Structure 1
Amino acid sequence: MNWLTWLLGAELHIAGSVILWREIIGNGFGLASAILGMRRRVGAWPVGMIGNVLLFTVFLGGVFDTPQDKDLWGQAARQVFFFAVSAYGWWRWRQARDSHEAADGGAVAPRWASGRERLGLLAAAAVGVAVFTYALSLLGSWGPLADAWILTGSILATYGMARGWVEFWLIWIAVDAVGVPLLFLAGFYPSAILYLVYGGFCLLGFFTWLRVERRLVGVPTPAPTAEALAGEQP
């Protein structure tokens, strides 16, 4: 298990700062997942789940005795939620792909959330921030309010992606706007830089999905294949 030992302890030294290779590699998987998500490929979900496992250990710097000794419990907890919601997203997109939900061959057909769904998002955001701020304060998280919003917004954005809502890109942008200064101040420089990259990427993803949504409006959905129908039988 030499590769595992290396992965757990490997460090990169840049300008007097110590950076874990786990943080770089984990964020690399996250970026790859985002690219696949923009392209509406099912592989976005399992790729992202690998990154979640790596970053969980990174953000509990005090627990795992890493150079960044601050425990960002919200950042760590969101990796757990990511993993769970990604399992749902993986299943949801496979079902959508097999039933040919999108006429252009993508795994899912992008759409705007309904008014009721948007109200649900707003209510979940308010409750999530309040509950997580309190919980993260008790855990001693560094910057509990910002950490709570990042956690809440990340869960909602991931769920929105699983449902195929165009708005999920906008939620991610709001998460990045808070995450960049928080991570820079906490010393998680690779993650902070990647959040900046994510911000621009999310704008690209938003307009990409918006174009697809407009293109698919009015396009008839192909009838399910016999194989897809057979798969739906109990």
Structure 2
Amino acid sequence: MINWLTGVAFTAFGVGTTWAEVLGFLTGLVNVWLLVRRHILNWPVGILNVLLLMLVFWSAGLYADAGLQFVYVILGCYGWWAWLHGGAHRTPLAVRGTTRAEWLALGAAGVLLTAGMWLFLDHLTGSTVPLADAVTTALSLLATYGQTRKLVESWWLWIAADLIYIPLYAYKDLWLTAILYVAFLLLCVAGLRAWHSARQPRTAELVA
């Protein structure tokens, strides 16, 4: 199965595109579309998506992104549970804004994650883009965590990550994945607007 997934499906822009990248493209679009609509099935589809992209990134030498997919599987399982039972008295979560304390914690985590992964990738791996790899990894982790808690501003983190991912994947000749992240960027804008409309009143956020 892995040999088939890593085999070339077709050639785009003079570069072979694997079946893993093709299926990652399709499941990624479905995943984000379901996420925009706040549909619980985004989590199992997302888990399948990250397993496929793990193969794509490892083959391209994006080691932090490949390793990140393991964390995404864990976050996907947690998000699946949290959306069903993570609210008050184990009720479904409601969409809300990010509190000041959450922003401070996310900011500190982002700095530490970026610095730690940058040093690791630069000194202990063959990554050709250690800083970009580290920044996008940190942003993606923080954005995914925010979406497990249905935080509106998590979409802003995804938008920032996508703006880096698009040229990064083009540089690595992952053209189909780069096009996918252009679509992700547009879906993130739609998700930001949809979740903003569905968010809880500000008074509910202050006690979260």
TM-score by length of 2: 0.90
1:148 matched to 2:134? yes
Structure showing the higher helix proportion among its residues: 2
Is the radius of gyration larger for structure 1 or structure 2? 1
Alignment of 1:98-177 (within 5 A): 101=91, 108-137=93-122, 138-177=124-163
Extract structure 1 runs of 4+ deviating beyond 6 A.
97-100
Deviation at 1:27, TM superposition (A): 2.4
Higher relative contact order (CA 8 A, sep 6+): 2
Structure 2 unaligned regions, length at least 5: none
Tell me the percent identity.
34
Aligned equivalent of 2:66: 76
**Using the alignment, how far apart are the partners of 2:190 and 2:13 within structure 1?**
32
Deviation at 1:217, TM superposition (A): 2.5
Equivalent of 2:29 in 4, 11, 31:
31
Equivalent of 1:195 in 171, 181, 205:
181
Amino acid at match of 1:31: L
Task: Give 3-state SS (helix, strand or coil) of 1:60's partner.
Answer: helix
Given that residues 12 and 175 in structure 2 are in contact (C-alpha distance below 8 angstroms), is that contact kept between their aligned partners in structure 1?
no
The change in CA–CA distance for 1:116 and 1:97 in structure 2 (over 3 A counts) is: closer
Deviation at 1:98, TM superposition (A): 11
Given that residues 27 and 191 in structure 1 are in contact (C-alpha distance below 8 angstroms), is that contact kept between their aligned partners in structure 2?
yes
Amino acid at match of 1:84: I
Alignment of 1:44-63 (within 5 A): 44-61=42-59
Equivalent of 1:206 in 192, 195, 198:
192
Deviations 1:66-114 (A, max 9, x none): xxxx41112111211111111110111121489685xxxxx53111111
Deviations 1:111-157 (A, max 9, x none): 11110000001101100100010111121212010000111111110
**Using the alignment, how far apart are the partners of 2:172 and 2:99 within structure 1?**
38
Given that residues 40 and 108 in structure 1 are in contact (C-alpha distance below 8 angstroms), is that contact kept between their aligned partners in structure 2?
no
TM-score by length of 1: 0.80
Aligned equivalent of 2:77: 87
How many pairs does the alignment contain? 203
Task: Give 3-state SS (helix, strand or coil) of 2:17's partner.
Answer: strand
Aligned equivalent of 1:223: none
**Using the alignment, how far apart are the partners of 2:111 and 2:85 within structure 1?**
31
**Using the alignment, how far apart are the partners of 1:174 and 1:59 within structure 2?**
20
**Using the alignment, how far apart are the partners of 1:135 and 1:35 within structure 2?**
34
**Using the alignment, how far apart are the partners of 1:27 and 1:98 within structure 2?**
36
Structure 1 unaligned regions, length at least 5: 62-69, 102-106, 221-234
Aligned equivalent of 1:228: none
Given that residues 56 and 77 in structure 1 are in contact (C-alpha distance below 8 angstroms), is that contact kept between their aligned partners in structure 2?
yes
**Using the alignment, how far apart are the partners of 1:14 and 1:161 within structure 2?**
33
